[in-house]
Structure 1
Amino acid sequence: MEAGRVTTGAVLWRAYNMLQLAVGLVWTAAWITLALLLRPLSGPQARLPLRMASRCWGPGLLLLAGARLEVEGADNVDWSRPCLLVANHQSIFDICALFRAVPVPLRFLLKEEMKRVPFVGWYARATGMLFIVRDNARAGALFRRQAAAVLEGGQSLCLFPEGTRSRSGEVGPFKGGSLQAAIDAGVAVVPVALQGAGRVLPAEGFFQARPGIIRVAFGKPIPVREDGVPVRRQVLADRARDVVLAMLKARD
């Protein structure tokens, strides 16, 4: 009997997950369609479509998954100035959480394959998201120039310097090359610790969402120059990772 109840529960959860996925896809398509229709009215910085993601699309998906968002340390950051946010990465829900937690329009660095995803790729291109071909030196140099231009233009950008989602929950090494744009633009690096998204929606498996808490913690901005000299990018990456690890440990 117990085995039967467990099996029945698993089947019901699977069915509920499929319903969540279907509703989430329709929700995403609807909001992106509206955002694209309004894009010509929002100016070169695409402020309106980006705010729609942070106030409507992202919170809706978190609610659908049963995720509750907790934000800490937002007052550590002067949001009137552009910055490069660097975060650990466990789940696609990290992007929803960051959209909601950051109080200014936010762009992301995405892998090149996302361009081909219907709706999401269209939205990303229309709002000025950046794309990169992983493990391609020439593509990395192009991204750094593009990212520096975004930052110099007064816009904030977020990236995941581990390069991919963590399957184990451990925070991998931060790649220094991705932080060169902050050095070139002269903007601070803001370390961000994300916790719980990997349990709400694991990277492994096909959409196995579970209710839970997702925490977003902002560390103090890290300057990219010391005594007038640029900090080496790998040193900067290691410092950001150390802050992220410390924030995660503080909540364990």
Structure 2
Amino acid sequence: MFRLILVGIIVSLYFILSIITLPLAWLIGLVMNKRAKQYFSYFLVSKTFFLVRLAAGTKVDIRGLENIPKGQPVLFAGNHRSYFDIILNYSILPPLMGFVSKIEIKKVPLLAQWMVNMNCLFLDRSSPKEGLKMIHDGVDKLNQGISIFIFPEGTRAKSDDAIAEFKGGSLKMAEKANVPIVPVAINNTSAIFEDQFPYIKKSHVIIEYCEPVYPDRLSREEKKFMAQHIHDTIVAKVSANKAEL
């Protein structure tokens, strides 16, 4: 209960302070430029999520950062178990990077504004047309030098052993923008919150950034199975890392 209260205080303070920091972000964008506003927003959110990580008592074993290509945007593709997948990755990865989120989040006041500032994309799973638009917007972000993080399963898995097949459409943005895809294997994040909802539990998490896949180096035949290859890479890593928890 103590950890839940502490995390709640941190998140509540952040949103209360948004009365000041959101207009400040807007002013920075007006006086300087849009990119400065994005960096300012990323700094505030990533540091807040780092505090949430500490308050939750989460031990994060971070592996494979050397596999992330430097000096260019990438498409991160990971398995999805918990809201903490987003919190932890934002506390680890450098700017600029946006997540793909479900469209319903766009209706949440304040949260939606911060997500827009941080280059997040919103996916309407009920509309194929909107799905294509999201991919197009993702390509634009990648071409602007902004990395994107997606969960190709489309929803949260019920266990680390139940990683659903990946939807290949979302990976197309990497192919169209000619950027590498970094598979991300995430272990045990649901133990922090979802497994004993509504309480937060001190937990050990492993996040491993695997060797990148370069779509432009694949043959036409290999591209057909790219989503399956990335899925299998993550499944293998999650299975191997599970033994260490």
TM-score tier, shorter chain, comes to 0.7 to 0.9
**Which of 188, 200, 213 is residue 196 of structure 1 equivalent to?**
188
Q: 1:172 to 1:150 in 2, by over 3 A?
A: same
**Which of 209, 233, 237 is residue 243 of structure 1 equivalent to?**
233
Give 1:10's aligned residue: none
What displacement does 1:164 show? 0.9
Give 2:14's aligned residue: 28
CA distance in 1, matches of 2:226, 2:126: 20
Q: Per-residue CA shift, 1:136-190, capped at 9, x if unaligned?
A: 2111110110000111111101011111111233211111011111111011110
Give 1:185's aligned residue: 177
What displacement does 1:100 show? 1.6
Give 2:114's aligned residue: 123
CA distance in 1, matches of 2:218, 2:76: 23
1:226 aligns with 2:212: no
- AA matched with 1:245: V
Superposition pairs of residues 37-52 of structure 1, within 5 angstroms = 37-40=23-26, 41=28, 43-45=33-35, 46-52=38-44
C-alpha RMSD of the superposition = 2.1
Q: Which runs of 5+ in 2 are unaligned?
A: none
**Kindly, what percent of the aligned residue pairs are identical?**
24
8 Å CA contact 2:154, 2:167 repeated in 1: yes
Superposition pairs of residues 53-92 of structure 1, within 5 angstroms = 53-54=45-46, 56-92=47-83
Q: Per-residue CA shift, 1:7-42, capped at 9, x if unaligned?
A: xxxxxx4xx365245314314314645542332315
Q: 1:208 to 1:58 in 2, by over 3 A?
A: same
Q: 1:63 to 1:215 in 2, by over 3 A?
A: same
CA distance in 2, matches of 1:151, 1:231: 22
Q: Which runs of 5+ in 1 are unaligned?
A: 1-12
8 Å CA contact 1:183, 1:230 repeated in 2: no
Instruction: Give the number of aligned pairs.
Output: 235
Q: 1:97 to 1:244 in 2, by over 3 A?
A: same
What displacement does 1:216 show? 1.3
Q: Per-residue CA shift, 1:76-95, capped at 9, x if unaligned?
A: 11231111000111111111
CA distance in 1, matches of 2:218, 2:172: 18
TM-score (norm 1): 0.85
Query: 3-state DSSP class of the match of 2:204?
Result: strand
Structure (1 or 2) with the larger CA radius of gyration: 1
CA distance in 1, matches of 2:170, 2:70: 21
Q: Per-residue CA shift, 1:118-140, capped at 9, x if unaligned?
A: 22112112332110111421111
What displacement does 1:230 show? 8.6
